[in-house]
């Protein structure tokens, strides 16, 4: 039995590829954590500088952007679209949770719970979470393309 001839066009395995992939994940995680800190700063700045609907709905969008950055920090290999979808799903889940009494009760007891869970359901928040997820997806996809030259970020 004869073996098939080697294909000269086929690349040989790169032993350093896994090291580069691991380093890429570390850089992505670090960038996501930095982006999370910037997002929190932007949210606090928005609350300090704006009032009314601008502060409320801008904060809703930034809430989802923050969740997206945390998703990327935990799972840096997710596509931008999947990371945005997860952040949006969590945002919506938290909002729908507010239809029950638990978030309101926790919010009365804790400022942190009020910031994370809110207290009362507000349907327009759902749209603003979507705005935040879309904005975060666009930025994440653009950064990924610029840095790594990979895909459209749609997958």
Mean pLDDT of 131-145: 95
Q: Is the pLDDT of residue 1 over 80?
A: no
Q: Is the pLDDT of residue 18 over 90?
A: no
Mean pLDDT of 128-146: 95
Question: Worst-scoring range by mean pLDDT, 23-37, 38-52, 66-80, 136-150?
Answer: 136-150
Contact 76, 25 (CB under 8 A): yes
List all residues 6 or more positions away from 117 whose beta carbon is below 8 Å from its beta carbon: 94, 97, 98, 103, 106, 107
Contact 24, 72 (CB under 8 A): no
Mean pLDDT of 100-110: 90
Torsion sign over Cα 125, 131, 134, 137? negative
> What pLDDT does residue 75 have?
96
- The closest of 56, 72, 65 to 88, measured between CA atoms, is 65
CA-to-CA dists, residue 137 to 35, 38, 74, 82, 152, angstroms: 13, 16, 16, 9, 11
Give 69-98 pLDDT, tens digit per residue.
Answer: 999 999 999 999 999 999 999 999 999 999
Question: Worst-scoring range by mean pLDDT, 3-17, 74-88, 103-117, 120-134?
Answer: 3-17
> What pLDDT does residue 22 have?
87
CA 20, CA 27: separation in Å to the nearest integer? 10
Question: Worst-scoring range by mean pLDDT, 34-48, 100-114, 138-152?
Answer: 138-152
Tell me if residue 95 falls in helix, strand or coil: helix
CA 153, CA 118: separation in Å to the nearest integer? 31
């Amino acid at each position: 039995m004869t073996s098939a001839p080697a294909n000269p066009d086929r690349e040989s395995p790169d032993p350093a590829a896994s090291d580069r992939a691991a380093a890429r994940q570390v850089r992505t995680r670090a960038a996501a954590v930095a982006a999370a800190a910037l997002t929190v700063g932007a949210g606090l700045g928005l609350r300090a500088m704006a009032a009314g609907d601008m502060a409320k709905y801008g904060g809703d969008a930034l809430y989802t952007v923050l969740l997206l950055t945390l998703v990327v920090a935990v799972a840096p290999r997710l596509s931008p679209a999947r990371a945005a979808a997860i952040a949006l799903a969590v945002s919506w889940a938290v909002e729908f949770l507010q239809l029950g009494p638990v978030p309101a009760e926790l919010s009365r007891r804790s400022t942190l719970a009020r910031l994370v869970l809110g207290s009362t359901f507000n349907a327009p928040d759902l749209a603003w979470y979507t705005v935040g997820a879309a904005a975060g997806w666009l930025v994440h996809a653009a950064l990924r393309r610029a840095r790594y030259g990979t895909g459209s970020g749609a997958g």
